[in-house]
Structure 1
Amino acid sequence: MQINQVVITGKREVSLQSLTLEEGNLAPNEVLIESERSFISAGTELAGYTATDADVYKEGAWCAYPWKSGYGNVGRVLDAGNGLSAWIGKRVYTNGPHASVFRYTLDPIYRIIASVPEGISLEDAVAARMAMVAMSGLDNAKPGYARWVVVIGLGMVGNLAAQFFRLTGAHVIGVDPSARRRQVAQDCGIPHVLSGTEEEVAAGVAELTGGKLAEVTVDAVGHSAVSLQALRLTAQGGEVVVLGSPRTEFAGNLTEVFRTAHIRWITIKGALEWYAPTESPLDHLYTQQKKLAAIYSWIADGRLRIAPLLTHLLPPQEIKAAYEGLLNQKEDYVGVVLKWK
Structure 2
Amino acid sequence: MNNQQIVFTAPGVVEWRTEAFDRPQLKATEVLVKKRFSLISPGTELACLSGGEQWFQMPQIPGYAAVSTVIEVGADVEHVAQGDLVFHYGKHCTYEIVRASELVVHVPNDLEPSIALFARLATVAFTALRVSEIELGDQVAVTGLGLVGNFAAQLAQLQGGVVTGMDLSKERVTLAQRCGIKQAVLSFSDIGPKKFNTFIEATGQPQVLHEALSWVAPFGECILLGTPRTDYTTNLTDVLRHTHLHEKGSVTLKGAHEWRYPMKAHPYEKHSMERNTRIVFELMRSGQLHVAPLISHMLKPQNAKEAYQGLSEAKEDYIGVLFDWVE
1:67-114 per-residue CA deviation (whole Å, 9 max, x = no partner) reads 21002000100001101154221000000101111111133xxx2010
Which of 71, 96, 99 is the equivalent residue of 1:105? 99
1:275-299 per-residue CA deviation (whole Å, 9 max, x = no partner) reads 1112243165211111011100000
Residue 321 of structure 2 corresponds to residue 340 of structure 1: no
Q: How does 1:140-219 map to 2 (within 5 A)?
A: 140-196=131-187, 201=188, 203-207=189-193, 209=194, 213-219=195-201
Q: Is the 8 A contact 2:6 2:93 kept in 1?
A: yes
- Give the whole-Å Cα distance in 1 for the aligned partners of 2:159 and 2:120: 21
Residue 42 of structure 2 corresponds to residue 42 of structure 1: yes
Residue 8 of structure 2 corresponds to residue 8 of structure 1: yes
Query: What SS class does the counterpart of residue 97 from structure 1 fall into?
Result: coil
Residue 86 of structure 2 corresponds to residue 95 of structure 1: no
Which of 66, 90, 95 is the equivalent residue of 1:73? 66
Q: Is the 8 A contact 2:262 2:273 kept in 1?
A: yes
Deviates more, 1:85-94 or 1:162-171: 85-94
- Give the whole-Å Cα distance in 2 for the aligned partners of 1:143 and 1:249: 30
1:158-215 per-residue CA deviation (whole Å, 9 max, x = no partner) reads 111000000011100010111111111111111112224xxxx2x34553x4xxx001
Which of 242, 256, 267 is the equivalent residue of 1:271? 256
> Which segments of 5 or more consecutive residues in structure 1 lack a partner in the other structure?
56-60
- Give the whole-Å Cα distance in 1 for the aligned partners of 2:239 and 2:67: 42
- Give the whole-Å Cα distance in 2 for the aligned partners of 1:304 and 1:135: 12
Equivalent AA in structure 1 for residue 294 of structure 2: L
Equivalent AA in structure 2 for residue 181 of structure 1: R
- Give the whole-Å Cα distance in 2 for the aligned partners of 1:319 and 1:233: 40
Q: Is the 8 A contact 1:23 1:103 kept in 2?
A: no
Q: Is the 8 A contact 1:148 1:216 kept in 2?
A: yes
Residue 119 of structure 2 corresponds to residue 128 of structure 1: yes
Q: Is the 8 A contact 1:76 1:90 kept in 2?
A: yes
1:131-175 per-residue CA deviation (whole Å, 9 max, x = no partner) reads 111111111112412100000001111111000000011100010
1:302-339 per-residue CA deviation (whole Å, 9 max, x = no partner) reads 00001111100000011111011011101100000100
Query: What SS class does the counterpart of residue 43 from structure 2 fall into?
Result: helix
Q: Is the 8 A contact 1:134 1:160 kept in 2?
A: yes
Which of 330, 333, 336 is the equivalent residue of 2:315? 330
- Give the whole-Å Cα distance in 2 for the aligned partners of 1:143 and 1:22: 51
Equivalent AA in structure 1 for residue 242 of structure 2: T
- Give the whole-Å Cα distance in 2 for the aligned partners of 1:177 and 1:230: 14
Which segments of structure 1 move beyond 6 Å, counting only runs of 4 or more?
none
Q: Is the 8 A contact 1:145 1:168 kept in 2?
A: yes
- Give the whole-Å Cα distance in 2 for the aligned partners of 1:37 and 1:205: 40
Query: What SS class does the counterpart of residue 263 from structure 2 fall into?
Result: coil
Query: What SS class does the counterpart of residue 87 from structure 1 fall into?
Result: coil
Aligned residues: 322
Q: Give the alignment's TM-score, normalised by structure 2.
A: 0.95
- Give the whole-Å Cα distance in 2 for the aligned partners of 1:19 and 1:140: 43
Query: What SS class does the counterpart of residue 84 from structure 1 fall into?
Result: coil
Query: What SS class does the counterpart of residue 83 from structure 1 fall into?
Result: coil
Q: Pairwise CA RMSD of aligned residues?
A: 1.4
Q: How does 1:44-63 map to 2 (within 5 A)?
A: 44-53=44-53, 55=54, 61=55, 63=56
Identity of aligned residues (%): 33
Equivalent AA in structure 1 for residue 197 of structure 2: E
Q: Is the 8 A contact 1:205 1:233 kept in 2?
A: no
Q: Cα offset for 1:25?
A: 1.6
> Which segments of 5 or more consecutive residues in structure 2 lack a partner in the other structure?
none
Query: What SS class does the counterpart of residue 77 from structure 2 fall into?
Result: helix
Q: Give the alignment's TM-score, normalised by structure 1.
A: 0.91
Q: Is the 8 A contact 1:218 1:230 kept in 2?
A: no
Equivalent AA in structure 1 for residue 295 of structure 2: L
- Give the whole-Å Cα distance in 2 for the aligned partners of 1:218 and 1:143: 11
Q: Is the 8 A contact 1:52 1:248 kept in 2?
A: no
- Give the whole-Å Cα distance in 2 for the aligned partners of 1:157 and 1:279: 22
